[in-house]
Structure 1
Amino acid sequence: MLVDVLEAFFTPGKPAYYPESAEVLDPLRGLLARARERGRLVVHAVERHYPGLADFEHKKLPRHCEIGDDQARYVEGFEPAGLPDEIEVPKRRYSAFYATDLDLLLREQRISRVVVAGVKTNVCVRATVQDAFAAGYEVQLPREATNSNRPHLAEASLEDIDRYFGRVVSLEQAWESL
């Protein structure tokens, strides 16, 4: 599951951009390539807000990733491949599970373990991992494939995830499990 690999976080000048985001692109490319090679279900969990409509998230953050705007575009090379086992799950909140059909989809595919990666560790990644755990999924989070513009919060989130919600693993361990 790739979380928010969108231009909003990776392109200079966009409101959610932070320079360190680029550090996760190569690990994310590797995970995506491995998942595709092995025919695994790939979930692109991406922010999709409705343009011009009220959104509770806007009380905390500026408008971003509105459907059709340039911030909501995938980082080049991370677009869904158009295969049946590669899907987009649009989300309007931090968690890919909240108010989406992700849990239903995973259960129908008899999936019990998820590898989650993307940005930002302390916000959307953590919320997704926590909800995956709450729904009964075994969760792996490859350390090298996530980060944040708030490193101290990312580290605290990794510690909490490993202690309470899943396993923080190396990139190599995540590749082996795919």
Structure 2
Amino acid sequence: MNAATIPAERTALLVCDLQNDFLHPDGAYGRAGQTAPEILELPDRVKPLADLLRSRGGWVISTNFTLVPGRSGEPMISPHLKTLRPFLAKGDFLPGAWGHRTVDTLQPVDVEVEKIAYSAFYMSRLEWVLAKCGVERLLVCGIVTNGGVASTVRDAHVRDFDTILLEDGCAAFTPQVHEVSVAALRPVCRVTTIATMLAEVGES
């Protein structure tokens, strides 16, 4: 199917990692002072598109970073992440817990998918969910542009999804890193704005 003819009902807004443990002041990153204003602004900016797409029969699917609890509930943390974020502890990003959930601003999402690595496709049920929902086009937003977003976009591309990066629907810990990451993704997917997609979905 040509991308231009993909209807709203076969489109999903893919929300990467906009979770309480990342964004809320009482979440894991908030307690550690690890945030950026550009990140905190994302839920309110993305919400109008989520609402419109859902009203047109489309999907809002969130991918939620997960720390799988192991023995005694201690989280299984990859070595690189343990070095990068030493503050992560028992109970953070715990499946089913408040911190693990998508932020209230974007609730209710249609489906939440646990993810354990940068890419939301890696060893997750995301591809199965998208097939069950009949999704052919992904509008990708969330955090961080250079990590989970970039990896997910590239994996969506090789799976032949019509993939669109919402440039102002993503953020990194610095604007410079965000801009470099967006530039690197332009050969891989279409890059556009939330306002443009609001207009296109509204006309579909």
Partner of 2:150: 126
Structure 1 residue 156: deviation in Å? 1.1
Partner of 1:96: 120
> Are 2:53 and 1:35 aligned?
yes
Q: Distance in 2 between matches of 1:73 and 1:111?
A: 23
Structure 1 residue 138: deviation in Å? 1.4
SS of residue in 2 equivalent to 1:143 = strand
TM-score by length of 2: 0.75
Residue deviations 1:63-91 (CA, integer Å, cap 9, x gap): 2422355432332232335xxxx101110
Does the 8 Å contact 1:118/1:145 carry over to 2? yes
Q: Distance in 2 between matches of 1:54 and 1:22?
A: 27
> Are 2:77 and 1:55 aligned?
yes
Structure 1 residue 8: deviation in Å? 2.2
Question: Which entry has the higher C-alpha Rg, 1 or 2?
Answer: 2
Question: How many residues end up aligned between the 2 structures?
Answer: 173
> Are 2:52 and 1:44 aligned?
no
Q: Distance in 1 between matches of 2:64 and 2:134?
A: 22
Does the 8 Å contact 2:94/2:100 carry over to 1? yes
Q: Distance in 2 between matches of 1:138 and 1:58?
A: 34
Structure 1 residue 28: deviation in Å? 1.1
**Which of 170, 188, 192 is the equivalent residue of 1:169?**
192
Of all paired residues, the percent bearing the same amino acid is 26
Partner of 1:137: 161
TM-score by length of 1: 0.85
Does the 8 Å contact 2:43/2:103 carry over to 1? no
SS of residue in 2 equivalent to 1:140 = strand
Deviates more, 1:65-74 or 1:147-156: 65-74
